[in-house]
Structure 1
Amino acid sequence: MTPIHTLGELRASGYRVRSVKDEMRANLLSALARGEQVFTGIHGYERTVLPAIHNAILSKHDIILLGLRGQAKTRILRSLTALLDEHVPVIDGCEINDSPFEPTCKRCRRLSAEQGDDLRIGWLARGDRYREKLATPDVTVADLVGDIDPIKAANQRLTYADEEVIHYGIIPRTNRGIFAINELPDLAPRIQVALLNILEERDLQIRGFPVRIPMDIVLVFSANPEDYTSRGNIITPLKDRIDSQILTHYPQTIETARRITDQEAWLERDSAASIEVPPHVRDLVEQIAFSARESELVDQSSGVSARLTIAAMELLQSNLERRAAITGDRAVYPRLSDLSMVLPAITGKVEMVYEGEQQGAEVVARKLVGLALAKLFESKFPPVERAGVAQRAERERRGYGEMDADDLDDAFSGRRKRKEPQQREEQKPPAPSESAYDAILGWFAGGNQITLSDEQPFAEYFRALSSVPQLADVARKYTNASRNEELAWWMEMVLEGLHQALRLAREDLDSTITFHELMKFNVLRTVR
């Protein structure tokens, strides 16, 4: 195709002018007819969010995505550029990307009148037609819309009544494109008012100038729910002018969450050692986030970002790399003791309610990991009969479990456990298979203990686990472990499951974990 450089050549080519919204609508319909994915890399929204976005685009709506943090809102907004034409013609040198067929600014109107079909044009790529602004309290109307430029007026000897003294803001400079504002509620109300005219009349008024500059632009926004972002609100007139409000959500299944983490986390590395993270370990990491989204210790109005599991997977893989370098093992496999090294990915990404803050971020993080481990244990192994009140008190003291006030009161006073209401008795758990764990518990009851570390060479680590009678047999019986590395993971999982059921005590010290018998009245002796 011969390059087009002037308005006359553009007319001769038969170029058809259309608005940005018409352009996006037509390109979306074509993509859907071809069966193409418009929003690549977005998982879990196929039947919820994406159809709503499609309908909003087909309706030529401005859009706001409303959802908690880490729900791919910004990624979706940036993906909208895929629906723009590859290039569009603009008047060469225009600050606000005027169309050669309909110039709006004073400079372009003058050039069009003087040069006619010889008017020079340029081509704007789709990637240059998207701009975004993070809403912060210091954003001004001049930043978004524009203002008078006194330096420009002085240099060009123009009066303030001349339209050419205007310095355009980021919105008019995105004319004939898509402009996104992230965290809209953080924008001051008086600044939000400046957007009303653009959304309704599609024109721009700057600093009292009598001229109105038509804008061909798509405005899109993202925001957290207002009950969380207490820093500000979206004013009602602005909310009324945004045509479609679309709610986002977190992944609804472990499989979807894992696809997101696998896509986003930095896992393909140039490590000298062979590092393997099997599917059940990846699912366990995802379950930590799911447990956090259900925990009463976590502020659910804040949300638990998908970035938690992304960071956790990266830390887990890094700890495997570190162990390979320390021990010299050529192949490394995850251990449950590695999970203590992912706590930094959790503590900074969960907002806690008052009770959680009283317990501390690290204690809450360990509880979330414990809940995920208990769920994996229950899916593989027979249930374990939970220990009594005193053991629960010991667990609470060590920061791994939860007890209500009556449980603690009974434990410290020596009273018998109160009888639960009748409806509790009807919901009986599955019958425990205690015989499966008798030999293991008996060995620890004899005063034995084992110490594990994420820095042990595998041979030493496996030897310590193998010292527990029938531990390997139980792990092998209920799993498909075919290699010693995988078997060791499940052996440690059995010990962790017994700990979660309050049948074993676990001591965490630096990078080591010690399992030993849970002393029934240890907590009472401590109080005395």
Structure 2
Amino acid sequence: MTQPQDLPRTVGELKASGHRERGVKAEIRENLLAALAEGRNPWPGIYGFEDTVIPQLERALIAGHDVVLLGERGQGKTRLLRSLVNLLDEWTPVIAGSELGEHPYRPITPESTRRAADSGDDLPIEWRHRSERYFEKLATPDTSVADLVGDIDPVKVAEGRSLGDPETIAYGLIPRAHRGIVAINELPDLAERIQVAMLNVMEERDIQVRGYTLRLPLDVLVVASANPEDYTNRGRIITPLKDRFGAEIRTHYPLELDAEVAVIRQEAHFAAEVPDYLLQILARFARYLRESRSIDQRSGVSARFAIAAAETVAAAARHRAAVLGESEAVARVVDLGTIVDVLRGKLEFETGEEGREQAVLEHLLRRATADTAQRLLGGIDVGPLVVAIENGSAVTTGERISARDVLAAVPEVPAIAEIHQRLGASTEGERAAAVELALEALYLAKRIDKTSGDGETIYG
């Protein structure tokens, strides 16, 4: 983030450069329309919203509306809000040293107005990067009016200024977001009296502090996120504030499997290689959980569940490689079993499912594995492999079994090479992982047996 050296440094130089002042909503609108006209994607890293949420959000921004996103946990609301910063100009001029980052052409605080009048075209300016114009606040119940709007600064009063002097105000988050974006996460968690303090900011664009009004023509885009469950039960957005948001947009979990896998790949930090088909299994697992009647769907099944599951599977592979001294750590189907116990607490089950949580998760994980294997390996003649296993060529795998030992036990039949080719397996670890997927699919189809215990799983 290196600032260009040829930027104007005074108001006079800024005027000579032909710079045009724009409000933040006009700036976002023009930059968005330019990106759309040029075919550039204004929303890098956002998956699954291309045909639903994104068009609605783009229309709201073009209209100049403040926006609230409604959706269950883990649907990418915060990430979407943070991506709005990409629609701001990369660098924007501000009055040097101004508390609210005012535009040199339009000072709004008493101090900046005086400085502008005294200095004229010699008023010094500095440049602010777009990343410094995005402000975010988690709406915790203890958030105060002072945090969001401002309060009297007792130090300034003690210095001798009168209580009604606007310069005694210590500005809150929203005024400091002047000429930028202010995002409030989990808006319903704000106490209702705090939401009332935002009404003037949202509509009249001024602030009220301790009984007197300071007329500040604030230029902000206000965006917020809310969980529909909180929206109706734990907390609520008061009706006058809800009315001031120009757009209320519902988010959702990815509708397509590819989008779910893309989110996992983007957000997860892997300690080992995780083949794409394992990510597909985890993505299907999350989708089946969202469809299950055993899961409380009001709280949702967060995308973080699948992300954490993928990271856990990778960690299991890295752990095995360290214990066995393998140079290559590749996740295998046997590692999927590690996610059920450690991630069960991330889900909310229906009240009638006490004691069945483990069984529900194991059943849906088996279903996700079988469906993924069927789609990827369907059509391969595995008959000779089944016959070889039935004739005594059992294959042992597990957290204590290396990839080399797994491959050494696999019968040499043409289906194995075709499985490797179909799944793009080239290294030793990848080939062992591919074989495990095929064996697990045969077991789930009830064509071979499987026994597990003491860290080993035997297909035979």
Shorter-chain TM-score: what band?
0.7 to 0.9
CA distance in 1, matches of 2:187, 2:51: 26
Superposition map of 1:17-32 within 5 A: 17-32=21-36
Query: Once the two structures are superposed, what CA deviation does each residue of 1:456-496 show, in whole Å capped at 9, x if it has no partner?
Result: 12343345565xxx9x6776788856878666556544654
Output the amino acid matched with 1:142: A
Unmatched 5+ residue regions in structure 2?
A: none
CA distance in 1, matches of 2:246, 2:59: 11
Structure 1, residues 364-422: CA drift from partner, whole Å, max 9, x if none? 43233222122234446789xxxxxxxxxxxxxxxxxxxxxxxxxxxxxxxxxxxxxxx
Q: 2:288 is matched with which residue: 288, 291, 294?
A: 291
| CA apart distance, 1:321 | 2.4
- Per-residue Cα deviation, 1:277-297 (whole angstroms, up to 9, x for no partner): 433223222222122112222
Q: CA deviation at 1:84?
A: 1.2
Measured at CA, do residues 228 and 151 of structure 1 come closer, stay the same or move farther in structure 2, by a change above 3 Å?
A: closer
Partner of 2:135: 131
RMSD over aligned CA atoms reads: 3.2
Q: Which amino acid aligns with 1:158?
A: R
Structure of greater relative contact order (alpha carbons < 8 Å, 6+ residues apart): 2
- Inter-CA distance 23–344: structure 2 relative to 1 (3 Å threshold): farther
The alpha-carbon distance between structure 1 residues 299 and 508, as it changes in their structure 2 partners (threshold 3 A), is farther
1:443/1:352 Cα in 2 relative to 1: closer, same or farther (>3 Å)? farther
Q: Find the aligned partners of 2:352 and 2:385 in 1 and give their Cα distance.
A: 35
| 1:167 alignment partner AA | A
Distance 1:58 1:442, change over 3 A: same
Q: Distance in 2 between matches of 1:176 and 1:4?
A: 19
Which of residues 55, 80, 102 in structure 1 aligns to 2:59?
55
The 1:437/1:198 distance shift into structure 2, 3 A limit, reads same
Q: 1:513 aligns with which of 446, 457, 460?
A: 457
How far apart are the structure 2 equivalents of 1:197 and 1:281? 51
CA contact (8 A) 2:181 2:223 kept: yes
2:309 matches 1:309: no
Distance 1:494 1:307 in 2: 28
CA drift of 1:63 comes to: 0.9
Per-residue CA distance 1:126-176 (angstroms, 9 max, x = gap) = 11111000010000011000011112210x211212111111101101111
Shift of 1:276: 5.1
Q: Distance in 1 between matches of 2:7 and 2:386?
A: 82
State how 1:361-380 maps to structure 2 within 5 Å.
362-379=358-375
Give CA-to-partner distance per residue, 1:16-51, whole Å, 9 cap, x none: 222111111111111111111111111222222111
> Of the candidates 178, 188, 193, which is equivalent to residue 175 of structure 1?
178
Aligned-partner residue type, residue 100 of structure 2:
I
Aligned to 1:353: 350
Q: Indicate whether 1:214 and 2:217 are aligned.
A: yes
* Partners of 2:395 and 2:406 within 8 A in 1: no
Residue type of the alignment partner of 1:136: T
Distance 1:240 1:7 in 2: 39
In structure 1, list runs of 5 or more residues that go unmatched: 270-274, 384-432, 517-528
Matching residue within 238, 241, 244 for 2:241: 238
Give the equivalent residue in structure 2 for 1:42.
46
Structure 1 position 72, deviation (Å): 1.7
Aligned match of 1:461: 406
Q: 1:345 to 1:76 in 2, by over 3 A?
A: farther
Between 5-14 and 197-206, the greater mean CA deviation after superposition: 5-14
| Distance change (3 Å), C-alpha of 1:112 and 1:480 | closer
Q: Distance in 2 between matches of 1:251 and 1:281?
A: 18
Q: Out of 318, 321, 327, which is 1:321 matched to?
A: 318
Query: Alignment partner for residue 74 of structure 1, among 51, 72, 78?
Result: 78
| Counterpart amino acid of residue 293 in structure 1 | R
Quick check: 2:28–2:87 contact (8 Å CA) kept in 1? yes
- Cα distance change of structure 1 residues 149 and 465 upon mapping to structure 2, 3 Å threshold: same
Amino acid at match of 2:398: S
**Residues 293 and 436 (structure 1), Cα distance of their counterparts in 2 relative to 1, 3 Å cut:** farther
**Displacement of 1:217:** 0.6
Q: State the match for 1:281 in structure 2.
A: 278
Offset at residue 219 of structure 1 (A): 0.4
CA distance, structure 2, for counterparts of residue 118 and residue 494 of structure 1: 74
Aligned runs of 1:86-485 on 2, under 5 Å?
Answer: 86-154=90-158, 156-226=159-229, 230-267=233-270, 277-343=274-340, 346-360=343-357, 362-379=358-375, 452-462=397-407, 466=411, 480=421
What CA deviation, in whole Å up to 9, does each residue of 1:250-301 have, x standing for no partner?
A: 112222222222222224x6xxxxx654332232222221221122221222
Q: More deviation in 221-230 or 74-83?
A: 221-230
Aligned residues: 452
User: 2:382 touches 2:415 (CA, 8 Å); kept in 1?
Assistant: no
Change over 3 Å in CA distance of 1:234–1:285 after alignment to 2: same
Structure 2 residue identity aligned to 1:335: R
- Displacement of 1:90 in angstroms is 2.1
- The TM-score with structure 2 as length reference comes to 0.87
Residues 44-90 of structure 1 show CA distances to partners (whole Å, capped at 9, x for unaligned) of 22222111111111111111111122222111111111111222222
Question: Equivalent residue for 1:418?
Answer: none
The answer on whether the counterparts of 1:24 and 1:83 sit within 8 Å (CA) in structure 2 is yes
Aligned to 2:299, what secondary structure does the other structure show?
A: coil
* Bigger shift: residues 434-443 or 448-457: 434-443
Partner Cα distance (2:103, 2:382) in 1: 78
How much has 1:359 moved relative to structure 2? Answer: 1.9
Identity %: 43
In terms of Rg, which structure is larger?
A: 1
Shift in alpha-carbon separation, 1:491–1:117, aligned structure 2, 3 A? closer
Q: What letter corresponds to residue 291 of structure 1 in structure 2? A: Y
